Amino acid sequence: MSQLDVDEIESRVRRRLAVTQARDEREAPRSLAPEKAPLSSERRLPSDGGATNVPKAAADVKTIAQACDGIALFQTLHADDRRALYACMYELTYAPGERVVRQGAEGRNFYVVVAGTLEVTVRVEASSSSSKTGELGAGPDDGDANTTRPTTKPRMKRLFPGDTFGEVALLHAVPRSATVTAAGSETCVLWALDRKTFKKILSEAAFERRRANESLLAKVAPLKMLDEYDRKVLADALVPKFYAKGENICVQGVRESPGGGAFHVIARGRVAVRLADGGEVNRLSIGAYFGEVSALEGTPPTATVTAITDVRAATLDRAAFRRALGEDVVAAMTERARLYKFDAVVASVGAPASASGRGGGGRGAANAAAAAAAARPRGLRGYLAGGGSRRDASGFERAAGAPSRRGDRDDAALGGGGMRWLSPSGKATIRRRDLTFHKELGVGMSGCVYFARVIRTGAACCVKVMQKKKLVRLDQVDNIKREKLLMTSFDTPFVMQSLCAFQEQAHLFLVMEYMPGGDLFQLLVNGTEKGLFEPGPSRFYAAEVLLALEYLHDRLYVYRDLKPENVLIAGDGHVKLADLGFCKKLQPGERTYTTCGTSDYMAPEVMLSQGYGKSADYWAFGVFVYEVLSGAAPFTGKTDSARHKRILTADLKFKANFHLHAKDLVCKLCVVDLSRRFGMMARGASEIKEHPFFSCEPGFDWGALERREARPPLKPKMRRAEDMMAREPMSGVARPGEDDKLSREEDELFGGY
């Protein structure tokens, strides 16, 4: 039995229940249900549907910037984004004694104090074990004054002009951890920014920056041979760099980094190219590039490039350049670069000669290079000079969507004990009346999972029961329908499968195979002495989870909700990825902007609505590896604000005895810069599979794991189906009530389930 502290277990469970989803209006239409009234007591700003006569506070953006200077959330943002956010703040005034935010109510805005004094009060409920609430991000609801029973006197402090509070509300909806009231005899003036505006500005800015990077790369002659997907990968990896007038961007004969040169594309401004004798030989402006030969071959620059105005460049160092494209693509580009007709002057910075001085080679040279590249045999990833795909050929064929063989498999393989769950027409062979429910196994945002028995055959199963009315209210109808579709589409032992699904008047039922080992989080807490796994079991479970993610990514899906609770243990000790409600298909290079998942596992780009793909899954995989080895998530903090700060800055801390190879792997997965994050570049998951954390283990065999032939290192205590069935059947499960009635329009939303 685990010796974990009870408060620690409660804290972890509480965080895990804080699953969030903020739907982006561009991605899916809203349901027909009316929007539920917000639980927030805060004023709405004009940009969030409030009164339109509230004045803008951005007359002095510099003052706002100074107030926000020490906040990690803003420090991690692009300078242009910060200025845009500050310019969208509004001025709010509060009379003495008027409440700004209430403890326990849903947070909506971020505030900067301009004038007056505010009093912060934190009351601790007698029924609450959480006395460690901190900033104004999350905490228990203290209710009204006449019903609150604090165990101690309220903790109080003051806020003065220049102070800020409430930044956690910009990331997602959480209860306020304190009450803030205007104090003194003067009117208080605040500047406020709402979450809707924050997310919109960041997502639109990220989209525009990526589009601008793609446009810049399209003008670079050596990259003409790349297909659209390759350019998108490079566009994601580009890092903005700023150079002041007169500053040297690169110096002749001096390596820009230990690994070699860097590739630069000018996005704004002009630069001068000079040789060692100091003479200027060329000038480059927007769209021009330099340094690609240094990035390809690792040679130092043969000329000095100096900014003659303030310059913004999109830059990629040599290591990131090679990881983004892969060795075979780099080899093809290097060969092509050698075919260019170089001018002795322009060749010094690696740009082909042209009449304009901008990047670009002669037509004859480009054609010769293309012909030479096309004459070579295709590599594994099918890279062609004139087109083709950079993706792994076998993975891409699988991603094209070969039909699932699940329908040809014996249902006994899915835990049905020989029972046929589907009729020849594909309809479920059971209904609610055919089932008895014996134990509640888990509770999620969308419904409850029960252990159930089919009365006429005695077959065991798990049934996820979801209330239609609740799904409509939470705007989860599309997610649930997608989950049902996906759980019948995949043909792999690493992802949970559905046996059948059906609906009745007020409820949906998703029938799944029974997993007697429970989930990995329960095994961590209850099946280990210290609430963590040794390196051997951690390696095994991480490897099987990685195979599940690789399977989904090959089919162009991102999972988006990895955590030990969603990793279920089968009777043979192997694991399966469950709960596909947030799983989403993205075309190659496409991004999604929805904020969803569990906060402990959210990548910075998810939290900030900057657009993401499988990058979010690889970050979460790093968090997963850390947690199974240490027993806690890596970015824990006393407050939500502290936790978010650590996530946004990838602030990783390890105990002295943390496995060294695992430490290196986590550091390469939980990194903010996508060009450095493992799994994101040309080699994909292979980069992770070949890491020493896996490869250093004698006898570790990925092939045996894929075939499910490897022996699981642990055998958790199994909850035998026979013992579960011996329990008295539960009454009242999925019985419709008066409040469950749906309108005709609402019921039509579930058509085809």
Catalytic residues: 561
Give the span between the Cα atoms of 750 and 481, in whole angstroms.
8
Strand, coil or helix: what is 142?
Answer: coil
Tokens 């920056």 belong to: 209
What is the C-alpha separation between 628 and 183, in angstroms, rounded? 47
CA angle 120, 125, 126 (to 5 degrees): 145
Distance CA 88, CA 195 (A): 11
DSSP β-bridge partners for residue 598: 19
CB 19 within 8 A of CB 447: no
- The structure tokens 């849903």 sit at 106
The two beta strands, 179-183 and 188-194, are unpaired
* φ/ψ bin of 629: left (φ > 0), alpha (ψ from -120 to 50), beta (otherwise): alpha
What are the two backbone dihedrals, phi and then psi, of residue 703, each rounded to the nearest 5 degrees?
-60, -45
Query: Who contacts 9 (Cβ-Cβ below 8 Å, separation ≥6)?
Result: 525
Greatest Cα pair distance, the chain, in angstroms, is: 92
Instruction: Show the tokens assigned to 467.
Output: 């209330």
Q: Which residues of 327-355 are buried (b: 16+ CB within 10 A; e: fewer)?
A: ebbbbbbeebbebbebeebbbbbbbbbee
Burial class for 238, CB neighbours closer than 10 Å (0-12, 13-18, 19+):
buried
Residue 544: closest CA among 357, 384, 658, 714: 714
- Taking residue 422's Cβ as centre, other Cβ atoms within 10 Å add up to 17
Distance between CA 737 and CA 746 in Å, rounded? 16
For 489, residues 6+ apart whose C-beta sits below 8 A from its C-beta are 404, 406
For strand 498-503 and strand 507-512, is the pairing parallel, antiparallel, or unpaired? antiparallel
Query: What gap in Å lies between CA 562 and CA 622, rounded to an integer?
Result: 10
Cβ atoms within 10 Å, residue 280: 12
Q: And the tokens for 378?
A: 């295709």
Determine how β-strand 19-22 pairs with β-strand 179-183.
unpaired
Query: Which of 597, 601, 604, 565 minimizes the C-alpha distance to 583?
Result: 597
CA distance 121 to 180: 6
Helical H runs in 107-238?
195-218, 228-237
Question: CA-to-CA distance for 567 and 645, rounded, in angstroms?
Answer: 27
Q: Is the alpha carbon torsion for 697, 526, 13, 630 positive or negative?
A: negative
Angstrom distance (rounded) from CA 452 to CA 449: 9
Angle between helices 363-375 and 327-338 (to 10 degrees): 140
Amino acid at 597: G
Distance separating alpha carbons of residues 237 and 216, to the nearest angstrom:
13
